[in-house]
Structure 1
Amino acid sequence: MNITVWNEFRHEVESEEIKAVYPDGIHNVIAEFLSVDHDVKTATLDEESHGLTDDVLKNTDVLIWWGHKAHDEVADEVVEKVKQRVLDGMGLIVLHSGHFSKIFKSLMGTTCDLKWREADDKERLWVVDPTHPITAGLGEYIELEKEEMYGEHFDIPAPDETVFISWFEGGEVFRSGATFKRGNGKIFYFRPGHESYPTYYNKDIQQVIKNSVIWAENQQTPKHKYGNSKPLEEISKK
Structure 2
Amino acid sequence: MSTSNAINVTIWHEYRHERTHKVVADLYPQGMHQAIAEGLRQHDRGGEFIIRIATLDEPEHGLPPAVLDATDVLIWWGHAAHGEVRDEVVERVVRRVWDGMGLIVLHSGHFSKPFKRLMGTDCALRWREANDKERLWVVNPAHPIAQGLPDYFELDAEEMYGEFFGVPQPDELVLISWFTGGEVFRSGCCWHRGMGKVFYFRPGHETYPTYFNPLVRQVIANGVRWAAPTRVASFTRDVSRPSKPLEDLGISELTKDPSLHGR
Normalising by structure 2, report the TM-score. Answer: 0.87
1:196 CA drift (Å)? 0.3
Q: 2:75 aligns with which of 64, 67, 71?
A: 64
1:236 CA drift (Å)? 6.3
Q: Would you say the 8 A contact 1:92–1:187 is kept in 2? A: yes
Note if 1:8 corresponds to 2:14: yes
Match of 2:245 in 1: 231
Note the 1:134-213 alignment, pairs <5 A. 134-213=145-224
Note if 1:119 corresponds to 2:133: no
Q: Would you say the 8 A contact 2:105–2:198 is kept in 1? A: yes
CA RMSD of aligned residues (A): 1.4
Q: 2:225 aligns with which of 214, 220, 236?
A: 214
Q: Would you say the 8 A contact 2:39–2:212 is kept in 1? A: no
Note the 1:77-92 alignment, pairs <5 A. 77-92=88-103
> Residue 143 of structure 1: SS of its match in structure 2?
strand
CA distance in 2, matches of 1:208, 1:34: 10
Q: Unaligned regions of 5+ residues in structure 1, if any?
A: none
Q: Would you say the 8 A contact 1:184–1:221 is kept in 2? A: no
> Residue 220 of structure 1: SS of its match in structure 2?
coil
Structure having the higher Rg: 2
CA distance in 2, matches of 1:116, 1:149: 5
Normalising by structure 1, report the TM-score. Answer: 0.96
1:52 CA drift (Å)? 0.7
CA distance in 2, matches of 1:221, 1:132: 22
1:143 CA drift (Å)? 0.6
1:90 CA drift (Å)? 0.5
> Residue 231 of structure 2: SS of its match in structure 1?
coil
Q: Would you say the 8 A contact 2:125–2:162 is kept in 1? A: yes
1:55 CA drift (Å)? 1.1
In structure 2, give the amino acid aligned to 1:231. Answer: P
Q: Unaligned regions of 5+ residues in structure 2, if any?
A: 1-6, 252-263
Aligned residues: 237
Note if 1:29 corresponds to 2:29: no
In structure 2, give the amino acid aligned to 1:9. Answer: Y
Match of 2:258 in 1: none
Greater Cα shift, 115-124 or 228-237: 228-237
- Residues 19-41 of structure 1: per-residue CA shift (max 9 Å, x gap): 01111110011112223441101
Q: Identity over aligned residues, as a percent? A: 60
Match of 1:50 in 2: 61
> Residue 110 of structure 1: SS of its match in structure 2?
coil
